[in-house]
Structure 1
């Protein structure tokens, strides 16, 4: 009995002997502030950082960083991840260092935030997931299928209640997608009314603005008015200039935003590191053609007069953008005909109709929409503008992507490589940003902007979201023609103290979950 007691005592003493759950040693620490890297260790206990620098003590687990960089887990403020529960490991995000995502962007979200968060908990999601409440989704639920008008007082009250409840349930703000139906039909006063509700909960207003083309200054006027009259923090989603007619105006755009900040508005912006966007192919069609159900669209193009009006509007849209045809658009996912995935619209027209004429390109676009639509990649931006926006100190790094399954469709490579591309191309190769500054744009700046408490920094008391990477080896092998490749150079990823990537391998640990706005 005495021997058994002694063994039990020694085992208990050993279990209590470790000072920390995890100790990361020999790291070059980028703490998220933008300051110089510091050699040292990071100690984690109970999911929080409890020591940093020259840490002494024992640990249940030790990761020897071997001189690699340790940084706060990256925060991707612009994702479309409403389907995160279907792909809970979200490996494409983890493998480029992302430990927190914000979904519900561009006006599209789950409107029952409490239920969404419950599903995230039940699905054992590997990441931290915050959400915005999407204006378009709220408008659709509040107004039904009739959108080309202002809401009635009763409908606006319903929409306000939906936003209010979502904010109470933990949403971080309100998003709009003002190039998408039904948001495109909303007037500014409606947006102000809903933004005021989000502001009352200390939320942020995040907008895919009405125009990103040569008319971008009209859109900037609108977002600044909303921020001013709603007394709300504002965020310009995926800041860009689309179409040749808009190229070269980046400094003018930034000057407008800098002046607004000087006048007292709190406004920031995010950006992905590619000169192509991705959204529904239906964005090549005029908004009025898309009101209602798909059957309504089919009826419109079956009417020769209405079809001619739609085609004429498409011509006006091309002219504003400086486009002669649709060769800049590549089909990413066409459910009705997956053989078109990866093909440009002219190539799809050649396959479907035997001709790549402009007329046949238009017919293919209309035909695809009648059959359920498609997502597409649009090569519409200029590298000089991209770099000008990226250099601005208030531009955050965000993918505009979502969770991906390897080999499925031909999606935009940003969902696999965005953060790696910034660190590899724009930091290491072009030296557009320093490494500590790039890390700040991915960590503390997003956390501060979206009021994510105790995130985005490596400081005692912060949640232990940590990424370890080799800055000399970080790269993004995912490309437009062959997108399904994970980012490289990230060896270890920790979420809330749980090691989800260890020595380059995905573990079974799922330590993420819903990230609610703290009021």
Structure 2
């Protein structure tokens, strides 16, 4: 590798400090110096950043790229936004630990991420990292441990666990933390993570607290009760708590974002190390199975499918499903978009459930149950159940981090994933910084870089500072914007000119290079 000089740009360093005119000297994979403009150096290569902002590479604090970047290491949808590190293992999903006796159920759970199936040759984080090293990846991976496979390893798909099974989870978690995982995530609306009682989570958080690792919570439901449960874990064990993708989905509660922010402020003021992340859209996305009644999902995908084959049970499931999802959220079928069906049951991707049901002359609950029975966790949906006003209230808080809740995906794709995978960070910079003035530019960059690094526990990146890793993005603040839409999500953003990962260009003059300098980072 050779020295590189980024000249003529405006540096926003990830600390929140005002922009400064500085040149950035990079040596190998590290930032060598920040220099006064025009300082003579013997750099072998020069990037002219005149009129551009030079910032640390963005850290996507909440992603589901665990499998997608193994399938396609280019990470196109993220790297074109300036993302240089993906925090994976969120919402209780991770591709480890894998245990021979329970591997089928663990991989069935992993299918809920919406990716094509994989056949892992590993069992733990070390093996997962080795697979990336062998295949290559354009950006960095900062892995969490998903509670789902951890719990399956200890107790299968059982609803209740005994003390020995909790201890098994603690032991496995400690081993994965020793291998460098940055923390643990739960997915408390997914089976089997959602079966965990608070007492079980406390015992796991004790392991995290001793290691100084993070607890990230996809909560059981939205609202005060869920925030209080997450805070209880922090108060009881001392673990730092990240509340995942804060949002309000219930139509009757739209407009109540300020009340939830007050809860966070109160708990933080009482000494709980509690924060949250948010993504800049008024819609969510997940596996369709997540929205089935919990008793339908119990036992795993195969058990669910067998259960739905019984006519009387099927009628009961349809009746329960029709009443709503989560904690009483009513179904608005014209707001539920089928983003991946693989053609199952004749349901076309891109239609709402209401449209697909009408086209197939079915009731909406019957179509949903058929799709879940046929496709299990592979069937994916986008739910337009949120308001931009609520999201902006969450976004404005100084401790709010920014994530996508999306995967790193290719541009040539035969389905319609949530546009967050292709545009979240560019959308922040374009729509919410430049166009609407919701955030000031240096503050937005700090949330996506230095603050994210601190929260996760990344000590060598997230800021432009001598000695730190040379993850750098160069973008045009006057043109940067997302182009991804719900009907046509696989669109490149505008305005991102250069992206360096560990000192190597992965985007040069707006075009992706073949380089794969990314690494699996360790705590």
**What is the TM-score of this pair, normalised by structure 2?**
0.91
Secondary structure of residue in 1 paired with 2:334? coil
For 2:147, the equivalent position in structure 1 comes to 135
Q: Please give the alpha-carbon distance, in whole angstroms, between the structure 2 residues aligned to 1:269 and 1:487.
A: 26
1:105 to 2:115 alignment: no
The alignment status of 1:333 with 2:337, answered yes or no, reads no
Q: CA deviation at 1:291?
A: 1.2
Alignment of 1:145-160 (within 5 A): 145=157, 147-149=158-160, 151-160=161-170
Deviations 1:184-233 (A, max 9, x none): 11100001111111222110100111112xxx111111101111112100
TM-fit CA distance, 1:339: 5.5
Correspondence for 2:372: 369
Partner of 1:448: 454
Q: What's the C-alpha RMSD, in Å, of the aligned pairs? A: 1.6
Q: Could you tell me whether the CA contact under 8 Å between 2:293 and 2:325 is conserved in 1?
A: no
Aligned residues: 489
1:81 aligns to what? 65
Q: Does 1:503 align with 2:509?
A: yes
Superposition deviation, residue 295 in structure 1: 3.5
Deviation at residue 319 of structure 1 after TM alignment: 9.7
Shift of 1:308: 3.4
1:43 aligned to 2:25? yes
2:116 corresponds to: none
1:388 alignment counterpart: 393
Q: Which residue of 2 aligns with 1:397?
A: 402
Structure 2: segments with no counterpart, 5+ residues = 97-123
Give the secondary structure class of the aligned counterpart of 1:193.
helix
SS at match of 1:49: strand
Shift of 1:148: 1.9
Answering whether residue 283 of structure 2 is matched by residue 276 of structure 1, we say: yes
Show the counterpart of 1:413.
419
2:429 corresponds to 1:423: yes
Q: Is this contact kept in 1: 2:257–2:390, CA < 8 A? A: yes
Q: Give CA deviations for 1:2-37 in whole Å, capped at 9, x if unaligned.
A: xxxxxxxxxxxxx9xxxx710000001000111211
Give secondary structure in 2 for the equivalent of 1:93: helix
Gaps of 5+ in 1: 1-14
| Partner SS state of residue 424, structure 1 | helix
User: How far apart are the structure 1 equivalents of 2:295 and 2:133?
Assistant: 40
Rg bigger for which structure?
1
In structure 2, the residue matched to 1:59 is 43
Would the aligned equivalents of 1:76 and 1:100 in 2 still touch at CA under 8 Å? yes
Deviation of 1:320 after TM superposition, in Å, equals: 5.3
Give the 3-state SS of the residue equivalent to 1:449 in structure 2. helix
Contact 2:353 2:364 in 1 (8 A): yes
Give the C-alpha shift of residue 318 in structure 1: 5.1
Q: 1:122 aligns with which of 134, 142, 155?
A: 134
Q: Give SS of 2:22's match.
A: strand
2:351 paired residue number: 343
Given that residues 41 and 53 in structure 1 are in contact (C-alpha distance below 8 angstroms), is that contact kept between their aligned partners in structure 2? yes
Deviation of 1:324 (Å): 5.0
Alignment-derived partner of residue 105 in structure 2: none
Spell out the pairing of 1:250-289 with structure 2 (5 A cutoff): 250-289=257-296
Distance (whole Å) between structure 2 residues aligned to residue 502 and residue 301 of structure 1: 52
1:186 matched to 2:196? The reply is yes
Normalising by structure 1, report the TM-score. Answer: 0.91
* C-alpha separation in 2, matches of 1:433 and 1:445: 15
Shift of 1:305: 3.6
Runs of 4+ more than 6 Å apart: none
SS in 2 for 1:118: helix
8 Å CA contact retained: 2:424, 2:482: yes
C-alpha change, 1:318 and 1:297, in structure 2 (3 Å) is closer
SS in 1 for 2:66: coil
Change (3 A) 1:195 1:318: closer
Equivalent in the alignment of 1:9: none
| C-alpha deviation, 1:347, in angstroms | 1.2
Deviations 1:228-268 (A, max 9, x none): 11210000111111120221221111111111111111111
Cα distance in 1 for partners of 2:29, 2:292 equals: 49
Deviation sequence 1:305-352 (CA, Å, 0-9, x none): 433332333244359555354221101111243861111001111222
Provide Cα deviations, 1:369-410, integer angstroms capped at 9, x if missing partner: 111131100101111100000000111110111121223311
Secondary structure of residue in 2 paired with 1:57: coil
Contact 2:323–2:330, Cα closer than 8 Å, also in 1: no
